[in-house]
Amino acid sequence: MEIQIKDIPHSGKDYTFEVPPDSIDLPKGVASLNSSVKTEVHCTRRETDVYIVGNSRASFWTECSRCLENTALNLRVKLEGYFQQISTEKMALSEEVGEEDVGYYYYNNNQIDLLPMIAEILVLDLPTYPLCDLNCQGICPECGRNKNRDTCSCGNPQEHQGNPFKSFFQNED
């Protein structure tokens, strides 16, 4: 997933990559890639600065935040970044990345590695609360049944024993 700077003409060049799922480290318990990440980018260069724009498509397995069932999640993310050359010594001494540095990346040895940018953007675009369906009913707080597949006779969730909101609804007057 590396691009040689000398191969990018000033007029720009298109690249297409497939990144194997095991090449991208995802936070444990969040999601797992179930196929390779397909990436298309267009690179333009001005001297040693390179501007990259494109998109990546990935398919994940994740857990629905309501019913806890495994569900497939397809993402298409926009990639955009400015790459500037930096020496290895300066890279080791560089300060923490600030908010104004988002979208800026560095390269050395006259080659750009796109994998860190792709991984960062994919992780940031994963939904905080993924759903198997927008109308997912979740699980019953009393018996734990998946309400999308089964019905239960537990009654109104506001009437459950030990419900912390029960007293709130009784004192509404």
Once rounded to an integer, what is the mean pLDDT over residues 25-32?
Answer: 81
Whether the predicted pLDDT of 139 surpasses 50: yes
Residue type, 29: G
Instruction: Name the pTM for this structure.
Output: 0.73
Alpha carbon distances (Å) from 25 to 31, 39, 132: 10, 17, 23
Task: Specify the number of domains making up the chain.
Answer: 2
Give the lowest-confidence range in 47-51, 125-129, 158-162: 158-162
In terms of domains, do 82 and 152 share one? no
**pLDDT tens, 29-83?**
788 888 899 999 999 998 888 999 999 999 999 999 999 999 999 999 999 999 9
In terms of domains, do 37 and 88 share one? yes
Alpha carbon distances (Å) from 29 to 32, 45, 132: 8, 39, 16
Q: 44 is in which domain, residue-wise?
A: 2-125
In terms of domains, do 25 and 109 share one? yes
pLDDT band at 97 (very low <50, low <70, confident <90, very high): very low
Q: Which position has the higher pLDDT, 88 or 97? A: 88
Whether 17 is covered by a domain: the verdict is: yes
